[in-house]
Homo-oligomer: A and B are copies of this chain.
Amino acid sequence: MLKIAILGVGTVGSSVVQILKDNSEVIKARAGVEIVPVLGVVNNLAKKRDVDIPLTDDVNLALNDESIDLIVELMGGVEKPYEIVKTALAKGKAVVTANKALLAYHRYELEEIAGNVPFEFEASVAGGIPIINALREGLSANHILSIKGIINGTCNFILTKMINEGASFADVLKEAQELGYAEADPTFDVGGYDAAHKLLILASIAYGIDAKPEDILIEGIENITTCDIDFAKEFNYSIKLLGIAKKRGKLVELRVHPVLIPNKEMIAKVDGVMNGISVVGDKVGETMYYGAGAGGNATASAVIANIIDIARRGKGSPMLGFNKPLESGLTLAEKNDIETNYYIRLKVEDKTGVLASVASILSKCSISIEKILQKPLESGFSNLLLATHKSKESDIIKALGEIEKLDFIQEKPAMIRIEQ
């Protein structure tokens, strides 16, 4: 029998308890032993919870109980769970967590403390999709060339609605909040920070890169307009918030930002609240993983998969090389060290020479134009929408700075990267 304690008995924690009960027979067969939740730890004992295990508000009851083999950490936050997980691992208790913020900041220290004690976190990225398992085991023969993930369901819901219904960001965000797909303060999701945490976890597995959210480029979807959507539709692009990791020699690019992506790409077809992660291996080519990225049952499915896996490995020595990153000796590329195609949105006054001035600046900055679309606005103004051929981010930033100074430019130029 494997006894577990669950720290944090909210949506996911309750689902873990319920699934261990509902599917106990198959889980026991797969795990080789019975898995029994014996204790739940909560902040507020007064709050009514529909869950069938003893509850306490004293985490030490879980940590000091020697009969408890495994701790499931679902508390959220960073520093408090960090201390608790450290203690649990030091006491030799296996830990399974879904806490992406904790992992984005402290994964390397925790893995070192863990040593041979199992420390797993499949549920921390993309909910029920077994993407960490795929990277660690399914693709273990490959150098990972790139990872591109739709790993925030809130953003994907909003962008899908904006594209399908031509609605504005503000309107769809309001709808998402009413449906419970977005928080009252949506910054963490729509600003790209949640996706960044998850990207850092995937990148640490693939590349052994110990970057923090502060170290990487993070842009959200707040500034995407219906005009950008029009351009995307005209040229058969979709707009997605992607977490991108790309190997370039001994450098790794890590970035989270909206992208225009050709509709024919499989990842462009992942719509609504669903998540999808495209991984390119040097030998296997592209594989993609799709499913529910959130929700109690989907996330609990991943938590329990980790528990079963730990039970299967038994008390013996851990598997060789299992928690090693797929690559080593790589370093993080500079934030602005990007070469890609760019989409540029300019609100301009309608007058002679506008296109000539813009084109001249772009040309001077070594940027060549691939696509162009001009959309009239209220009388006297237009949106001038451009896509470039492959360019350097530094050149684009320089060009946009100069363009902004032109007298016919009506608002700060906007830019979205294109992934092909």
**Chain A residues with a Cβ under 8 A of chain B:** 15, 19, 22-23, 26-27, 29-33, 122, 128-130, 133-134, 137-143, 266, 269-270, 274, 281-292, 295, 297-298, 300-302, 304-305, 308-309, 311-314, 316-317, 319-322, 324, 326-328
- Tell me what chain A mostly uses at the interface: helix, strand, loop, or mixed: mixed
Measured in the bound complex, the distance between the Cα atoms of B270 and A311 in whole Å is: 36
Complex: chain B residue closest to A329, CB-CB: B25
Q: Can you identify 21 A-B contacts, CB atoms within 8 angstroms?
A: A19-B141, A23-B282, A26-B142, A26-B327, A29-B321, A30-B140, A30-B326, A31-B320, A32-B320, A33-B320, A128-B281, A128-B283, A130-B134, A139-B305, A283-B300, A285-B291, A287-B291, A311-B321, A312-B322, A314-B317, A316-B317
What's the least CB distance linking A188 to chain B, in Å? Answer: 24
Measured in the bound complex, the distance between the Cα atoms of B144 and A129 in whole Å is: 14
What's the least CB distance linking A258 to chain B, in Å? Answer: 22
Known interface pairs A137-B133, A269-B266. Does A284 touch B291 (Cβ–Cβ under 8 Å)? yes
A141 touches B308 (CB 8 A): yes
Our pick among B31, B284, B300 for the contact of A301 (Cβ within 8 Å) is B284
Complex: chain B residue closest to A126, CB-CB: B287
Known interface pairs A291-B284, A316-B317. Does A142 touch B328 (Cβ–Cβ under 8 Å)? no
What's the least CB distance linking A6 to chain B, in Å? Answer: 15
B137 touches A130 (CB 8 A): yes
The 8 closest A-B pairs by CB, nearest first: A130-B138, A32-B320, A287-B291, A141-B304, A128-B284, A284-B301, A312-B319, A32-B321
